[in-house]
Amino acid sequence: MKKIVIMLLLFWIATRVFAFGESGQWSSGWGQGVSEYTVVTQSGDSLYIACSGDRPVSMTLKLKGKEYGSYSQQGFDLIINGTEVQTPYDTDSRVGSNNFTYAWGALRKATRLQAKTTDGQTVNLPVKGVAAALPAWGTPEFGCTTGLDF
C-alpha cells in the first residue's frame, strides 16, 4: 500500500510540473494534438501558447489568478524587447496574423518580455530557454496556424 501511495504522489507531482512548466524558464510539450509552450514566473503567473493544425493559435496569460487572452473577455499585449505587439493571439485578420508572425520571431530572440493587460496590469516574463522551447517558423516542428489558415 505504501508503494502505491508513493507512486501516486510521484505521478501527481510529475503531472503538476509538466502541466505548469518550470518556474523561471520556457518549456514545451505536446498532448492531444496540441503543441504547448509555457513560461511561468517565480510568483506563478504564466503565459501559455497552444498550437494545433486544426485550429488557430491561442494564448492565455494568467496573472494574479485572473485569465486573459484567447478565451477571456480581457485581452493582453506582449512587449518584446521594448516593442509592443497588440493581441498576438487574435489572428483572424491579416494584421493579426502578421502580429503573431512577428511576435513569434521576436520571442525567439527576446532579451526582455512583458505582458500588459487591458485592465492595466503589467508582468515581467522570463526569457530563459525561449529559443529552445519555441521552434523556428517554417521548420517541421512548427505547428502553429492562424485564423487566416481556415
**Could you tell me the domains of the chain?**
23-149 (2.60.40)
Q: What is d(CA 16, CA 9) in angstroms, rounded to the nearest whole number? A: 11
The mean predicted confidence, pLDDT, of the chain is 88
Read off the pLDDT band of 89 (50, 70, 90). very high
Give the pLDDT band (50/70/90) at residue 20: low
Range 62-101 burial, b when 16+ CB lie within 10 A, else e: bbeeebbbbeeeebbbbbbeeeebebbbbbeeeebbebbe
In the prediction, which pLDDT does 5 show? Answer: 34
pLDDT, position 150: 78
Q: What is the mean pLDDT of residues 50-67?
A: 96
Question: What is the pTM (predicted TM-score) of this model?
Answer: 0.85
Reported confidence tier of residue 80, pLDDT bands at 50, 70, 90: very high
Model confidence pLDDT, tens digit, residues 93-116? 999 999 999 999 999 999 999 999
Distance CA 137, CA 144 (A): 9
Q: What is the pLDDT of residue 15?
A: 36
Q: What are phi and psi of 92, to 5 degrees?
A: -80, -5
Mean pLDDT of 12-35: 73
* Mean pLDDT to the nearest integer, 8-31: 63
Give residue 144's region: left, alpha or beta (phi > 0; psi -120 to 50).
Answer: beta
